Structure 1
Amino acid sequence: MNLLFEPIIDGILTDGYGIADNFLTSDEVVALAKSLRQRRGMGQFRGAGTGNQLLAVVNASRGDEILWLEEATTAPDEVAFLQRIGEFVEYVNQTCYLGLCDYEFHYAVYPPGTVYKRHLDQFHSDSRRKLSIICYLNTDWHEADGGQLALYLPKINGGKEQQITISPMGGRLVCFESGRLEHEVLPAICERLSVTGWLKTV
């Protein structure tokens, strides 16, 4: 797993974000996407809000539907994903000494035409979120399908802000600093699927 995790860490240390294009195999992408759709078909998803979980407010800044993954109700494929995340947490703690001790993840569906406007993942009143993770579950995705992740890199030495866009290709994981990089989800032309979450300290 070190060979999978090292490029992510290197990217975070260098640029504030890291990418692993094969964090999930094609079979794992298909299995998790199937589980997502089954759960959504059972009416388990709800419209996402902004703010912390206790005070979330649904508004026009985001249009995704989500379902939190709870250990007591996870299916085998979901358990395998969370175990890999746990291994990544251990690796990050060994290499970066962040003191991560918890994580939270949810499925996210962006129906066609929806977005998530520019924001920061770390709350003003709660700084426990240290690293944001998005793992995409889309197959046969093309640039014209939209739904790209836009990251806004901080200005360096008074220079211009840099924006980069990342396509939501199936199996790709994106990880970035929750309290540093503002980001947004650009308009999705096709239904966009992911598992999204945060690695947290106490």
Structure 2
Amino acid sequence: MEETLAFSFESIISQIIEHGYGILDNFLTEEEITELNESFLAHYQAQEFRQAGISKEHEVVKNIRGDEILWLEKEQANAIEIKFLERLEAFMSYVNYTCFLGLRSYEIHYASYPVGTFYKRHLDKFRNDSGRKLSFICYLNQNWQADNGGELVLYLPDKEEIVLPIGGRLVVFESDKIEHEVLPANRERRSLTGWLRNID
């Protein structure tokens, strides 16, 4: 398993170096996707999610961003969430070993996009905060079809990359360089989303 993960990590790192972003399918197994969805639903039914904001002050502007989020902390995480976080930590360590980015921490949340919601084009960087180096999204959507919508659009210098939010797929890109948006979907769209940082 460790050798497989290392090979997968190397693949996505090579893509990031060449294009500024990388896509890795099957970062999660079907069983892990199912278990994380069960955790997602338990949190949601417990009304732990809140409307996401667009600034450090958590300003809610629904005509810009419509998702609902729940921050995930390892100290309060359950078994499957800890397993995911440890895999993320392994990826972060591998990036540091191979790319010398000096990543020291991460922030991560569950994200739910209800039907018809979206997140307009933006950059994952707060003013006066350059700590976010790599953005990542890991999708939890089961049996997602092309006509369900909800695509991630990456705005690259020479093209627009359209990414379907297929369950188990990991997308990683440079936080301060690649603008992106989330298009509306006709079914709820779920993910674990966050940032790898070079500050605590």
TM-score (norm 1): 0.95
User: Which residue is 1:158 aligned to?
Assistant: none
Q: Which residue pairs with 1:8 in the alignment?
A: 12
1:71 and 1:170 mapped to 2: Cα distance? 22
Cα distance in 2 between the residues matched to 1:197 and 1:179: 14
1:61-72 map, 5 Å = 61-72=64-75
Tell me how far 1:72 sits from its aligned partner: 2.0
| Count of residues in correspondence between the two structures | 194
SS of structure 2 residue aligned to 1:174: strand
Q: CA deviation at 1:163?
A: 0.6
Tell me the amino acid that sits aligned with residue 88 of structure 2.
I
1:152-184 Cα deviation digits (max 9, x unpaired):
002xxxxxx411100000000000000000000
Is 1:125 the counterpart of 2:122? The answer is: no
The aligned residue for residue 173 of structure 2 is 176
Residue 193 of structure 1 corresponds to 190
SS in 1 for 2:112: strand
Name stretches of at least 5 consecutive residues in structure 2 with no aligned partner. Answer: none
The Cα offsets for residues 69-91 of structure 1, whole Å up to 9 and x where unpaired, read as 01221010000000000000100
Q: CA RMSD of the aligned region, Å? A: 0.7
What fraction of aligned residue pairs are identical, expressed as a percent? 53
| Structure 1 residue 106, shift from structure 2 partner | 0.2
- Matched with 2:164 is 167
Structure 2 CA distance for aligned equivalents of residues 7 and 33 of structure 1? 27
For the pair 1:92 / 2:95, whether they are aligned, the reply is yes
2:44 paired residue number: 40
Q: Per the alignment, in what secondary structure is the counterpart of residue 188 of structure 1?
A: coil
- Residues 49-99 of structure 1 show CA distances to partners (whole Å, capped at 9, x for unaligned) of 0112xx110102010000000122101000000000000010000111000
Whole-angstrom distance in 1 between the partners of 2:79 and 2:94: 23
What secondary structure is seen at the aligned counterpart in 1 of 2:102? Answer: coil
Which deviates more, 70-79 or 102-111?
A: 70-79
Q: For 1:117-161, what per-residue CA distance to the aligned partner results, in whole angstroms no more than 9, with x for missing partners? A: 00000112100000000000001000110100000002xxxxxx4
1:6 aligned counterpart, secondary structure: helix
Structure 1, gaps ≥5 residues long? 155-160
Measure how far apart 1:11 and its partner are.
0.6
Match of 1:57 in 2: 59
What is the TM-score with the length of structure 2 in the denominator?
Answer: 0.95
